[in-house]
Structure 1
Amino acid sequence: MDIQAHINEVWPKLHDLAEPAFKEVKTAAFLADFLRKLGYDVTENVGNTTALTAVLDSGKPGPTVAVRTDMDCLLFKNEDGSLEPIHACGHDAHMTIALGVAKLLKEQGLACGRVKILCQPAEEIGRGALAMLKAGALDDVQYALGYHVMPKDMARSGQIIAQINWTACTLMEGEIRGLAAHGSQPHLGVNAIDAGAAIVNAINALHSNPLLGGSIKTTRFMGGAGSLNAICDKVSIGFDLRSTSNAEMLELRRKVEEIVVNTAKVYGAEADCHIVGTCPAAEADPSVLALTQEVISA
């Protein structure tokens, strides 16, 4: 297999097909057609979504090994307000790799067992994997392998490693409700911006174990869209939480919610905080890691 030729043929097409979560119709059709032509047994519309699976069976006893790729893209807002789908998170590369693996395995042949290509929709909103799990796409799988393009930060050029600890991610959103007043009489109001600024500072003062890669960033702060001489009565605030530890992620969530609600109270405001989306950190199987290390060495 000519790897560069495969990339040149497949990647530009997938890059141009960019479709958002659960709308990967043309993308899924391209993948299904490619895999069928290789001789894989393809199942489309898994879980009544755009998800698909493709199986290559050696006909000999052995495990079923899954290779997983995501399919969706991100939506970007243009200056005119229109939304443009762009593969800015590397899923076009992920699909190219999965199809390359499928092609290579078909050419080389399987010694035993089966390989199952999992093409997952809606990674960006954290719901595609759940849909495939609920549909039973992994019920017959003994080993699942995944990957993500960000090699320059995790592995040196030309280096192969068995594991990268990708983080859990939680997106949280809060609303702070104060009391509007005229700028000449601030004592009659409750400035939601003051409470929001204090919340941001309190969040920035949180410190977690650096070995776990925990972090919290304030990624949204919106309020005060009215007159400049009016006390702001409402602020929308958002946070991005990360950690390689699922246990630490639960603790970070708790702290953010407590800071938002309790800091607002100190300023005489009310606030609530809720989770918009979340995805757990991968917890690797030690036996699979050991096997992967053996294969790399071989």
Structure 2
Amino acid sequence: MAVINRIAEFHEDMKEWRQHIHANPELGYDCHETAAYVVEKLKSFGIEQIETGIAQSGVVALIHGQGGDGPTIGLRADMDALPIQEVRDLPYKSTKQGKMHACGHDGHTTMLLGAARYLAETRNFKGTVALIFQPAEEGGGGGLAMCEEGVMDTYDIAQVYGLHNQPSEAFGTFLTRPGPLMAAADTFSIDVVGVGAHAAMPHQGIDSVQIACQIAQGLQMIAARNTDPLKSCVLSITTIHAGSADNVLPATAQMGGTVRTLDEDVREMVIARMQQVAVNIAAAHGGTASVTYNRGYPVTVNHPAQTELAASVARAVMGDDKVTTEMIPMMGAEDFSYMLERRPGAYLFLGSSGGAGLHHPEFDFNDEISPIGASWFVKMVETAQPAG
């Protein structure tokens, strides 16, 4: 293992940073306190070129190498927490009711801060590093907002990389793959309209509840019979709302859910078929249905050359046996996908071994992987842009 010695020396500082961020979680774009803390640390490292307020509370800091002119490499960490009540009584437990870092973004921010400290001290690379601290990954699309505000173009970022902790994987293992890594995440809602009636006289109405149930069954055929078996599609109905009395057939019903795909053609097929299934089933029973489909995060697609570079750096940090580039794609989603649509790069997972899973109220980031992640960030820079 080749964790950088200097980073190992300030591991206790990194724990302090991470636990401070953990105790003070913020949601969505409202990461102003976290951003201020990040800026305070960056300035203490001697980094002077810092821009704040990007996508409301995002931060970009630039470190220029001493190895001569060269391109700019982007390193990204997310800062936002989740609307979950923390249940563990940790010394650094969340101080904000109903908010907690249940996905490890506190750790991601810390790993990038650790890399920033080392890179600012050594500057043993050519060109520039752009440190991207992003708000609103958890459903807010902060990655898209930062791209739309020109982060990639303003700082002339040539390639971009990100890292996410994974408690279900062995400690210190890196996992990734070229091509689709994580799914597109879309949502939908369907409004069903029938005719209300007394529940004892169903023939006098058109039962919106039964229509909704039929639509729910029909939609499952999209994944089971319309999708190529060698491709992936998850269509989950997560809400159905109708009625308010035991003896009344409601005139309307509403349902909604999520669609996850790894292929744009499959995504388009689902959209078209969902409309056909819902509208035609409703019509067959004498009612109507309207579908609202909301495109969310796109597929996270790793670029092959950059994925191999990132994996080779991971091997240098942890050894060949700790790195795989054959990870099975996940049906979760990640708004780093927007950055990978605009620039070549790669996204990796870093195993943290055990404990509660992501988005669980007992989750806590494993501070012991922070020096590993920070070392990987640093070596990405020094390998991609070696000093002349």
In the superposition, the TM-score normalised over structure 2's length comes to 0.69
**3-state SS, counterpart of residue 41 of structure 2:** helix
Distance 1:245 1:150, change over 3 A: farther
User: Within 1, Cα distance between the matches of 2:313 and 2:307?
Assistant: 10
User: Within 1, Cα distance between the matches of 2:264 and 2:80?
Assistant: 25
Matched, 1:18 2:34: no
Matched, 1:182 2:198: yes
Match for 2:286 among 268, 276, 285?
268
Following superposition, the deviation at residue 223 of structure 1 comes to 1.4
Deviations 1:13-43 (A, max 9, x none): 2122222212111111111212222222210
User: Within 2, Cα distance between the matches of 1:13 and 1:197?
Assistant: 48
Deviations 1:125-172 (A, max 9, x none): 3431222112111111011001223352xx544322343711111111
Task: Give 1:269's aligned amino acid.
Answer: G
Task: Give 2:59's aligned amino acid.
Answer: L
Following superposition, the deviation at residue 69 of structure 1 comes to 1.6
Following superposition, the deviation at residue 211 of structure 1 comes to 4.9
User: Within 2, Cα distance between the matches of 1:253 and 1:194?
Assistant: 23
Distance 1:259 1:90, change over 3 A: farther
Counterpart in 2 of 1:235?
253
Q: Provide the aligned C-alpha RMSD in A.
A: 2.5
Task: Give 2:239's aligned amino acid.
Answer: R
Alpha carbons 1:126, 1:277 under 8 Å: kept? no
Match for 1:58 among 56, 65, 70?
65
Following superposition, the deviation at residue 75 of structure 1 comes to 2.2
Counterpart in 1 of 2:212?
196
User: Within 2, Cα distance between the matches of 1:46 and 1:21?
Assistant: 13
**3-state SS, counterpart of residue 12 of structure 1:** helix
Counterpart in 1 of 2:302?
284
Unpaired runs of 5+ residues, structure 1, are none
Unpaired runs of 5+ residues, structure 2, are 1-6, 87-96, 317-388
Counterpart in 1 of 2:152?
138
Within 5 A, what are the aligned runs for 1:1-298?
Answer: 1-2=7-8, 4-40=11-47, 41-47=49-55, 49-59=56-66, 60-76=68-84, 84-139=98-153, 140-150=156-166, 152=168, 156-163=170-177, 165-205=181-221, 206-207=223-224, 208-209=227-228, 211-224=230-243, 226-298=244-316
Task: Give 1:221's aligned amino acid.
Answer: I
Bigger mean CA offset, 208-217 vs 114-123: 208-217
Following superposition, the deviation at residue 178 of structure 1 comes to 1.6
Alpha carbons 1:125, 1:277 under 8 Å: kept? no
User: Within 2, Cα distance between the matches of 1:297 and 1:77?
Assistant: 37
Task: Give 2:35's aligned amino acid.
Answer: A
Following superposition, the deviation at residue 257 of structure 1 comes to 3.0
Distance 1:274 1:292, change over 3 A: same
**3-state SS, counterpart of residue 176 of structure 1:** strand
Counterpart in 1 of 2:338?
none
- Name the count of aligned residue pairs: 291
User: Within 2, Cα distance between the matches of 1:220 and 1:149?
Assistant: 30
Distance 1:275 1:91, change over 3 A: farther
Following superposition, the deviation at residue 174 of structure 1 comes to 1.7
Counterpart in 1 of 2:352?
none
Identity of aligned residues (%): 26
